Structure 1
Amino acid sequence: MFGEIESFCALVDRVKKFFKNHSNPGSDKELLSTRLVQLYEAHGVHRNQIPKVIGQGLTLYDVSTDERLLKKLTDKILSSTCQLFGINRDWLDGASDEIYPTYDFYKCPAKFEAFLSSLLAKSGSDGLDGILLSAVDSRVESVLILQETIDSINEKPYYRYYLCSGWFLSYWKSTGYITACVAMCWKNNVYVYGLYVDKATVDKYAHGNNLLDFGYDGIYQLSGIRWYPEDLALVPETYLKNINPEENQFGLNAALSLWFKLYHQGYLDTPYMDNNVELSFNDAHKKFS
C-alpha cells in the first residue's frame, strides 16, 4: 500500500513539472542576450554603454531589457563581441562551458616571447598589465592573467584577458619557466604583480570556465596576500621558496641549474638584473650542490 502511495506521489510530481515547464517555455534557460550583457559588464562595460561599443544601430532602448536586446542581436554583433573580448562563441551561444581559451607556455619561453610581442604590437606596454594568482598551497595550479586595455568610456577602461595557466610553483621546472615569462613581461614594461589567494579563487579563474568578472577596476580589484613575482628572477630565496626539494635536494639543484640556463639564454634580463644577482644565485647553487 505504501508503495502505491509513493508511486502516485511521484506521478503527481511529474505532472506538475510538465505543466510548469510547458506553461512557461524556456523559463529555465538563460537568454543569449543575458549572456551578452553579463559578458560586457564583467569586462567593464555597463549595459547602457553597450551601444557605444557595439554600434550597428543599437540604442539605449534596445539594451534596456534582455528581451528587447535579443530581438536586435545579429550574427555580426555576436561574432564581433567574441572577437573583441577573446570569447568562445560556443559559450555565448550556450553550447559550451568554456568561455576563454587558455594558453600553455610550459617549457616554451620563446613561444611566450612571441605571444607577448604580438600583444605589445596591439596595445603597447601602457595597455597591458598582469597578475600571477597562486594559492598558499604551492601544489595548486597558478595562473598568469594578462589584461589588455581595449579602450575606455568616460575615462573608464574596459578589458580583454589572456589566461596563461598550468603553472605549479612546487615543481622546479614549472617555477623556472614562469620566472622567465614574468621576467620578459618586466623587460617590456608590463607590470605583473602577485597575489596569494585561496584555492577556490585560483580554480575559478585558471581554466576559462568562469567569467573574469573584474568590472571597471580589472585585475586590481582582486585581494589577497601581495607578493612580487619579479623577485623570482632576482632573489634566490623567493625563487626556491615553494619548490619541493625532492630527494637529496634534487629539486632545488635542478631549479637553480634551470635558472642559469634561462639567464644565459637572455630570458631573465630584467631592468633590475645585475652581476650581484648572478653572484647570489651562484652562492645558492653552491649551497645545494
Structure 2
Amino acid sequence: MFGEIESFLSLFDRVKKFLKSHVNPSSDLSTRLVQLYEAHGVHRNQIPKVIGQGLTLHDVSTDERLLEKLTDKILSSTCQLFGINRDWLDGASDEIYPTYNFYKCPAKFEEFLSSLLNKSGSDCLDGVLLSVDKVDRGTESVLILQETIGSINEKPYYRYYLCSGWVLSYWKSRGYISACVAMCWKNNVYVHGMYLDKLTVDKYAHGNHLLDFGYNGVHQLNGIRWYAEDLALVPETYLKNIDPEKNQFGLNAALSLWFQLYHQGYLDTGYTDKSVELSFNHAREKLA
C-alpha cells in the first residue's frame, strides 16, 4: 500500500513539473536572459544600459514585462556580447558556452590568443586554470580566459572563453596546457591556478553551467590557489599529479615533451632563462 502511495506521489510530482514547464515555456526565455546578464556582472536594473534599444527600468522590472519587449535583435546581440549559444537562450540546448580544444595544437592556441589580444588588449584579459589536486585521469581541467568587455559604475562585466579537454594527470595534456599558460603569461595575460573538488571542476569544464562569478571574477572561486606559470618554470610543479604509469613512463614522457615544446619556443613565459632548462635537465637525470 505504501509503495503504491509513493509511486502515485512520484507520478504526481512528474506531472506537476511537466505542466509547469509547458504552461508558458516562452517565459523561461526572459528568465534565462536575466540570469545570463547577472552571472556576467550586470544587475537586472542595469540591463537597459547595456542592451539599449529603448528598454526601460520598467521593462526589466519583472521577467513577464521583459518577455513582452524581447526581440530577435536583442537576443542575438546578447548572445554575441557574451559569447553564448543562442540555442541555450532559446531553451533548445543545454550548452551555454562553446568550448575550444587546443590539445596538441599550441600554434592554434597562439593564433586564438593573438586574436583576443588584437581585439581587447592584455589589460582586459586574464584567466584561471581549474583542476583537481590529485592524480585523476577521469577529470578534465579547464582554462577559462576572462575578458572585461565593459563596466557600469566602475564595476566590470565579462565574457568568458572555455578552453577544455585537458586531463592534467596525462603527460601529453600536461605539456600542452603548460605551453598555453606560458604563452598567456608571455603576453601579459595572467593565468592563475585553482585547485577545486572534482564536482566543481566538472561543473565548469564543459560549457553547460553559467560562469556565475559576477563582479568578482573567476578568481573568487573557493579553492586553493597555485602558480600556474610554474608549469613551464618549475619541474616539481610540472610533474605534480602526473600519472607516472609503468616504469615511470608518464614522467619521462612528460619531461621529453617539455623539452620539445621549450625548444620550439612555446614555454617562454617572459621570465624564462637558462636556469630553467638546467633545472629540468636535473629533473630528467634524477628519473634516469
Indicate the residue corresponding to 1:199 in structure 2: 198
- Of all paired residues, the percent bearing the same amino acid is 77
SS in structure 2 of the partner of residue 184 of structure 1: helix
Q: Gaps spanning 5+ residues in structure 2: where?
A: none
How far has the Cα of 1:12 moved from its partner?
11
Counting only pairs closer than 5 Å after superposition, residues 61-80 of structure 1 correspond to structure 2 as: 61-80=58-77
Q: Which amino acid aligns with 2:65?
A: R
* Whole-angstrom distance in 2 between the partners of 1:70 and 1:95: 17
Moved more, 8-17 or 166-175: 8-17
SS in structure 2 of the partner of residue 253 of structure 1: helix
SS in structure 2 of the partner of residue 31 of structure 1: helix
Aligned length: 286
Indicate the residue corresponding to 1:3 in structure 2: none
How far has the Cα of 1:220 moved from its partner?
2.0
Indicate the residue corresponding to 1:87 in structure 2: 84
Is this contact kept in 2: 1:141–1:165, CA < 8 A?
yes
SS in structure 2 of the partner of residue 267 of structure 1: coil
* Whole-angstrom distance in 2 between the partners of 1:197 and 1:185: 22
Matched, 1:57 2:43: no
Indicate the residue corresponding to 1:280 in structure 2: 279
How far has the Cα of 1:252 moved from its partner?
1.1
Counting only pairs closer than 5 Å after superposition, residues 224-239 of structure 1 correspond to structure 2 as: 224-239=223-238
How far has the Cα of 1:286 moved from its partner?
1.6
Indicate the residue corresponding to 2:171 in structure 1: 172
Moved more, 218-227 or 154-163: 218-227
Q: Which amino acid aligns with 1:178?
A: I
Counting only pairs closer than 5 Å after superposition, residues 137-176 of structure 1 correspond to structure 2 as: 137-139=134-136, 140-176=139-175
Matched, 1:105 2:110: no
* Whole-angstrom distance in 2 between the partners of 1:240 and 1:109: 19
TM-score under structure 2 length normalisation:
0.92
Is this contact kept in 2: 1:138–1:168, CA < 8 A?
no
State which structure, 1 or 2, has the greater radius of gyration over its C-alpha atoms: 1
Q: Gaps spanning 5+ residues in structure 1: where?
A: 1-5
* Whole-angstrom distance in 2 between the partners of 1:12 and 1:284: 62
* Whole-angstrom distance in 2 between the partners of 1:9 and 1:192: 51
Deviation >2 Å, runs of 4+: 6-25, 27-30
How far has the Cα of 1:28 moved from its partner?
7.3
Is this contact kept in 1: 2:147–2:159, CA < 8 A?
yes
